[in-house]
Amino acid sequence: MTNDRPIGIFDSGVGGLTVARQIMTALPHSKLVYFGDSLRAPYGGRRPEELVQFSREIIDFLHSKNVAALVVACGTISATIFDDVKQMTDVPIMGMLDAGVEAALDATKSERIGIIATAGTIASRAHERAIVAKNPDAKVFAMPCPLFVPLVEEGWLDNDVAQLVAQKYLAQLAENDIDTLILGCTHYPLLIDSIKAALPVDIKIIDPAVRLAEDLAKMILDSPSTQPNHEFYVSGNKDKFDQISYIALNKSFDAKEMRL
């Protein structure tokens, strides 16, 4: 597939920017159309029916932008309703689950893997099932971190509050002697400094977006003839989104506010 049409990408808010960042690195000449549903974030405690409805609205919008492929840059949707979401489109679509699981299985030596994510993702046990299906000897230790997404949406990435919250969630998880930790929510890489500070230094931290972007780059030919004129849309207030997108992407993209 060539990059003459854009890649559509969406999340509940700013979390998917961490995925956009990896895709921009792997496919520097390919255009992204991003939708962040910050008006209805967080998604982590939402009912599956709501997530199906929101996904349909967003995917319809991204289809109207003539996207050639879709990236569900939301761990919660990827873990809970991805089968429904796949039915909503005819273009190739990727979620976050497989990328994180494969990267973690490649990285672990002790086969003791931690997963942190939203309450919805952890309750689905999707990572645990996928890991054990590929390696029955692996042990999975899960911890929901519901306060992380509001911290990120507020832009509190590495202050004393973020550090204390990370410490509370992660100290207990690390006691299980994990050697690898999957960041199962796309907001979490923005908290990486607080997360690292709360964990033993030798734990390998997996951002699934890195593997996903590598996989996407195998599918799309990143022709340099195209200038990537990325478009960002946000359903809530654009100021906070722009501020965090500047932190995540080192560049201002001047998102447009868009209600679906």
Is position 44 an interface residue for ligand DGL (rule: CB under 6 A)?
yes
Which residue stretch of 7-15, 23-31, 230-238, 249-257 sits at the interface with ligand DGL (rule: CB under 6 A)?
A: 7-15
Out of 5, 8, 12, 34, point to the residue binding ligand DGL (CB under 6 A).
Answer: 12
Q: Does 75 bind ligand DGL (CB under 6 A)?
A: yes
C-beta of 42 vs 236, nearer to ligand DGL: 42
Calculate the CA 185 to chain-centre distance.
5
What are the Cα distances from residue 219, in Å, to 14, 107, 210? 25, 23, 15
Closer Cβ to ligand DGL, 12 or 180, answer by number: 12
In the bound state with ligand DGL, the residue whose beta carbon lies nearer, of 30 and 186, is: 186
Whether 145 is a known active-site residue: answer no
Contact 115, 122 (CB under 8 A): yes
By beta-carbon proximity to ligand DGL, the closer residue of 43 and 232 is: 43
Distance CA(9)–CA(15), nearest Å, equals 11
How far, CA to CA in Å, does 101 sit from each of 85, 149, 219?
A: 20, 21, 20
Q: Which residues are CB-contacts of 258 (< 8 A; sequence separation ≥ 6)?
A: 35, 61, 233, 234, 235
Residue in 173, 185, 212, 213 annotated catalytic: 185
With CB under 6 A as the contact rule, the residue among 108, 186, 235, 245 that binds ligand DGL is 186
149: enclosing H helix or E strand: helix 148-153
Residue 103 CA, distance from chain mean position:
14
- What x/- string results for residues 105 through 144 when contact with ligand DGL is judged by CB under 6 A? -------------x--x-----------------------
Contact by Cβ (8 Å): 234, 58? no
**Among 9, 51, 68, 74, which residue interacts with ligand DGL (rule: CB under 6 A)?**
74
| Residues facing 204 on adjacent strands | 180
Helix (H), strand (E) at residue 144: strand 139-144
Query: Per-residue x/- marks for ligand DGL, 206-245, CB under 6 A?
Result: ----------------------------------------
Which residues contribute to the site for ligand DGL (CB under 6 A)? 11-12, 15, 41-44, 74-76, 118, 121, 149, 185-187
Which residues have a catalytic role annotated? Answer: 74, 185
